[in-house]
Amino acid sequence: MQETRDQLEDVVQKIESVRDKLAPDMAEEEFVKIIDTIELASRLLSRLFGYGLMRFYADTQDQNAQTYFGQVQQLMAEFENRTLFFMLWWKSLEDEQAKRLKSASGDYQYWLEAVRLEKPYTLSEAEEKVINIKDVNGPKALYNLYESITNRYIFNLEVDGEIKKLTRGELAIYVRNPDHDLRAAAYQELFRVYDQDATILGQIYQYLLRDWHSENLGLRGYASPIAVRNLANDVPDEIIDNLLDVCRKNASLFQRFFRLKARWLGMDQLRRYDIYATVAKTEKTYDYSDAVQMMFESFRQFDPKMVKLAKRVFDEHHLDGEVRKGKQSGAFSLSVEPDLTPWIKQSYQGRLDDLATMAHELGHAIHAMLAEHHNALTHHSSLPLAETASTFCEMLLTDHLLAKDPDPEVQRDLLFRQMDDAYATIMRQAYFAMFERSAHEKVHEGASVDDMSQVYIENLQEQFGDSLELTDDFRQEWVAIPHFFDRPFYVYAYAFGQLLVLSLYQQYLEEGESFKPRYLEILAAGGSDSPARILERAGIDIRSADFWQGGFDVLKTSLERLEAIEIIT
């Protein structure tokens, strides 16, 4: 690894040495050479990072791995600072000048374009510097304070007559518990603890929102608070407005789902505490080798190319599925460089969830491999398209299993899993984004913390209608959602990604064969163009409400299948 580090240092010095050569009228070949160097640096960094991450996550208790990973993170921050001058220079060019250099840059074009998106909202270098410096101890410090306050919370929950002291992550598991009282107790304990600090957390939120408003709308000239995020995602404002409208119109679909779930749980009406409750009594398990075969079978019905790519991951031993002590519990697929087969990490325990996770992560890996002809700067897809293959592969698996196993309990578990997941990823997140829209407006108008809680509970009332019993303890749930504080409007990307895939899946069901090459083309584009243009080239119009509605139609079919299964309680 020292070798890679030395090589990186040489490359970074090479980038630094071009500082004086940068000029609007510089030769195109000179310019492309610089980008080549930046691309090489990013490959080397990615190798160091990938190695560090995998080593650390393989055993989080390994002190050498911890130290090494810390060093890599520092190296990355240093790299960013040392090459910042290039980014600033590139952003500072006039459109005409940038156009000439960009059009000579081949596969780097979209990366260069994306860097310049913020140009109209960029201030002078001196102003940007002041904002950067002030942000560290301003909004960033406020968010750190939020983290410091909430990360020390300990939650007490009585389980089997014994009081357990839990972290938030551990507490969250109990909202799925089959025990009716335990689910309610888990939520009540969550709110009891957060409510003690709700005023102060709410105040932090107000400061953050005022800062967001005065910087982005006041100084930079963005049209609305959400427009800042839309630009970062490179998705036009009207597409997101449209997406959220379609979600709102389909709120009744999940209301219907909650009514059905109540019947499965033997209740007259669901409480808000019960929406994630599991209906499964026993869980079927799958051997690892059977799981791998099932992946291949599910992908084969779509395209043999996908099977070939998935096999590459196994053939090169790039999937670590073992359960080990000290191994980080999450799952991911890591694509280090375009030419390297991605690595997958999960802790396979044989449950249906583990099967779905494997399909999901293989989807990410297939996505990266299909886009491997791009360079290191454009091969990763951007946030709105990041889940296009992962969720699709999960859908392929679900459909394969539904077709293969007629056992009503298996069918029920598969469909409930799909609906629970769709609720949490689509509807909950879309309503979160709508809350944020109102909250940003209200804070600007001088709303108090209580006013915000009122906005929040009204948002929930609209979302659930009379489908469940909503108690007043949920009114301050918003202070417990870190994304609201950390990355305003980030949440809609979850709804966007998932609904996009469902809509694509609906097109696949309608069109069959002719859909396949268009879909594979979307994946092969990686991050080489804007999300809207990549989809447009594949004949998909995300501006149309019908497209998004297609996603809900898939869910409606799943719900109908679920409703047709005879209830066993």
3-state SS string over 452-485? HHHHHHHHHHHHHCCCEECCHHHHHHHHHCHHHH
The answer to whether 429 contacts Zn ion (rule: CB under 5 A) is no
Provide, rounded to whole angstroms, the least separation between the CB of residue 305 and Zn ion: 21
Least separation, in Å, of the C-beta of 363 and Zn ion? 8
Which C-beta is closer to Zn ion: that of 100 or that of 417? 417
Least distance CB 491 / Zn ion (angstroms):
15
- Tell the smallest beta-carbon distance from residue 81 to Zn ion (Å): 30
Give the shortest CB-353-to-Zn ion separation in angstroms.
14
- Give whichever of 390 and 506 is closer to Zn ion, judged by the CB atom: 390
The region of 57-65, 383-391, 425-433, 554-562 touching Zn ion under the rule CB under 5 A is: 383-391
Which of 383, 496, 444 has the alpha carbon at shortest distance from 224?
444
The nearer residue to Zn ion, 333 or 459, going by C-beta atoms, is 333
Distance of closest approach, residue 490 Cβ to Zn ion, in angstroms? 15
Residues present in the chain in total: 569
Q: Kindly indicate which of the ranges 122-130, 387-395, 417-425, 558-566 contains the residues binding Zn ion, using the contact rule CB under 5 A.
A: 387-395
Q: Which of 225, 210, 202 is nearest to 437 (CA)?
A: 225
Name which of 270 and 362 has its Cβ closer to Zn ion: 362
Tell me how far, at minimum, the Cβ of 120 lies from Zn ion, in Å.
32
Residue nearest to Zn ion (CB): 390
Among 335, 388, 390, 453, binds Zn ion (CB under 5 A): 390
Number of residues that bind Zn ion (CB under 5 A): 1
The nearer residue to Zn ion, 171 or 295, going by C-beta atoms, is: 295
* Choices 224-232, 280-288, 390-398, 481-489; region in contact with Zn ion by CB under 5 A: 390-398
Rounded-to-integer distance, Cα 33 and Cα 37, Å:
6
| 230 binds Zn ion per the rule CB under 5 A | no
- With contacts defined by CB under 5 A, name the span among 13-21, 29-37, 231-239, 388-396 that binds Zn ion: 388-396
Q: Which value, in Å, is the radius of gyration of the alpha carbons in the chain? A: 25
If the CB atoms of residues 390 and 498 are measured against Zn ion, the closer one turns out to be 390
Q: Is there a contact between 262 and 268 (Cβ–Cβ < 8 Å)?
A: yes
Binding marks (x or -) toward Zn ion, 509..538, rule CB under 5 A?
------------------------------
Distance in Å, CB of 200 to Zn ion, minimum: 34
User: What does the buried/exposed string (b/e) look like for 28-52 if buried means 16 or more CB atoms within 10 Å of the residue's CB?
Assistant: eeebeebbebbbbbbbbbbbbbbbb
Say whether residue 459 binds Zn ion (CB under 5 A).
no
Q: How far apart are CA 439 and CA 459, in angstroms?
A: 11
Span of 4-12, 385-393, 460-468, 503-511 interacting with Zn ion by CB under 5 A: 385-393
Q: How far is the CB of 54 from Zn ion (least distance, A)?
A: 17
**Is residue 346 near Zn ion by the rule CB under 5 A?**
no
Closer CB to Zn ion, 478 or 519, in the complex:
519
Binding-residue pattern over the window 244 to 273 for Zn ion, x denoting contact by CB under 5 A: ------------------------------
CB of 331 to Zn ion, least distance (A): 9
Range list of H helices, 197-323: 198-212, 225-233, 237-249, 251-264, 288-300, 304-315
Alpha carbon distance 466, 461 (integer Å): 8
- For Zn ion, which stretch binds (CB under 5 A), given 47-55, 145-153, 231-239, 384-392? 384-392
From 492, 544, 426, 543, select the one nearest 232 (Cα to Cα).
492
Whichever of 93 and 504 has its CB closer to Zn ion, that residue is: 504
Nearer to Zn ion, 390 or 429 (CB): 390
**Shortest gap between Cβ of 537 and Zn ion (angstroms)?**
23
- By CB under 5 A, what part of segment 84-123 binds Zn ion? none
Q: What is the dihedral of CA 146, 151, 154, 159, to 10 degrees?
A: 110
| Residues 157, 274 contacting (CB under 8 angstroms) | no
Using an 8 Å Cβ cutoff, are 328 and 57 in contact? yes
* 3-state SS class at 514: helix
- Site residues for Zn ion, 311-330, by CB under 5 A, read none
- Which of residues 174 and 494 has its CB atom nearest to Zn ion in the complex? 494
Nearer of residues 260 and 334 to Zn ion, judged by Cβ: 334
Nearer to Zn ion, 166 or 362 (CB): 362
* Contact in structure between 50 and 68 (CB atoms under 8 Å): no
CA distances to 244, 391, 449, 513 from 478, in Å: 19, 27, 11, 45
Least Å from the CB of residue 497 to Zn ion: 8
Q: Which are the contacts of 331, defined by CB distance < 8 A and separation ≥ 6?
A: 344, 345, 346, 347, 357, 360, 361
Dihedral sign for Cα 156, 158, 161, 165, please.
negative
| Cα gap 8→468, rounded to integer Å | 57
State the Cα–Cα distance between residues 472 and 501, nearest whole angstrom.
Answer: 35
Going by C-beta distance under 8 Å and a sequence separation of 6 or more, which residues neighbour residue 385?
Answer: 497, 500, 522, 527, 531, 534, 535
Residue 392 or 435 having the CB closest to Zn ion: 392
In the complex, least distance from residue 360 CB atom to Zn ion, rounded to whole angstroms: 6
Cβ proximity to Zn ion, 474 vs 496, nearer residue: 496
- Taking contact as CB under 5 A, which single stretch among the options 148-156, 196-204, 389-397, 447-455 is the one that binds Zn ion? 389-397
| Shortest Å, Cβ 384 to Zn ion | 13
| 403/131 Cα distance (integer angstroms) | 57
Nearer to Zn ion by Cβ, of 255 and 390: the residue is 390
- The three-state secondary structure class of 138 is coil
SS3 call for 386: coil
| 345 bridge partner residues | 320, 332
- Min. distance of Cβ 364 from Zn ion in angstroms? 6
How far apart CA 328 and CA 55 sit, in angstroms, is 10
Q: What angle do CA 341, 345, 346 make, to 5 degrees?
A: 145
If one asks whether residue 503 binds Zn ion (CB under 5 A), the answer comes out as no
Residues found near Zn ion in the complex (CB under 5 A):
390
